[in-house]
Chain A
Amino acid sequence: GAVVSQHPSWVICKSGTSVKIECRSLDFQATTMFWYRQFPKQSLMLMATSNEGSKATYEQGVEKDKFLINHASLTLSTLTVTSAHPEDSSFYICSARSTGEYTDTQYFGPGTRLTVL
């Protein structure tokens, strides 16, 4: 149980184009999902918290107009990198929050490798 998928697993795009990444919780509903980015040899950095049916909350220093987040259903959140540039190249990982009577855990997707040429 608690499987999270991401699509695509990797994408290469030209500078100036927009890229959409999907994050799905496959066997549970998630009112809250999170988006992270990870640079080589570094740990995960939280970009934003995505709440179903409401606006995302962005971490300090993350441009909300550049990284558009939509959480349209209890199983799907999307991250759109608008007008991507080479410095946006990174590993983007989503997580979905699963809550139960005694548990509250984030389960992560497999990640999306974005390369901007």
Chain B
Amino acid sequence: EDQVTQSPEALRLQEGESSSLNCSYTVSGLRGLFWYRQDPGKGPEFLFTLYSAGEEKEKERLKATLTKKESFLHITAPKPEDSATYLCAVCLTGGGNKLTFGTGTQLKVEL
């Protein structure tokens, strides 16, 4: 059965304290892995797409990496405005372009 698991469920960081969020997946065939950010009461905001193992993408303080079993979202020197829930989703080969979401990591960055 295809599975997407995110860890930790919640993470509290001090401003400037770098860390990583994990998304592990067990799927029959991966077309792409997506990272989104979701603020309370809003729709997810697109961050990155990764298509193949070894691929990396960066945007400001965020960097996403992909292996054959998992993806990491590295947050360097986070700021309070980075506080949000970060969602990982996979699109499967033969899956009709549907996304399967993980349960998310709720990040809080404190001053």
Residues on A facing B (Cβ under 8 Å): 2, 4, 6, 32, 34, 42-44, 46, 49, 57, 91, 93, 95, 97, 103-111, 113
Contact = CB atoms under 8 A, between A and B. Distances in A.
Main secondary structure on A side of the interface with B: strand
Interface of B: 31-32, 34, 36, 41-46, 49, 87, 91, 96-104
Chain B contact residues: helix, strand, loop or mixed: strand
Contacts of A43: 87, 101-104
B46 A105 contact: yes
B99 A111 contact: no
B98 to A, nearest CB: 6
A57 B102 CA distance: 22
Given A49-B98, A113-B41, A104 B32 contact: yes
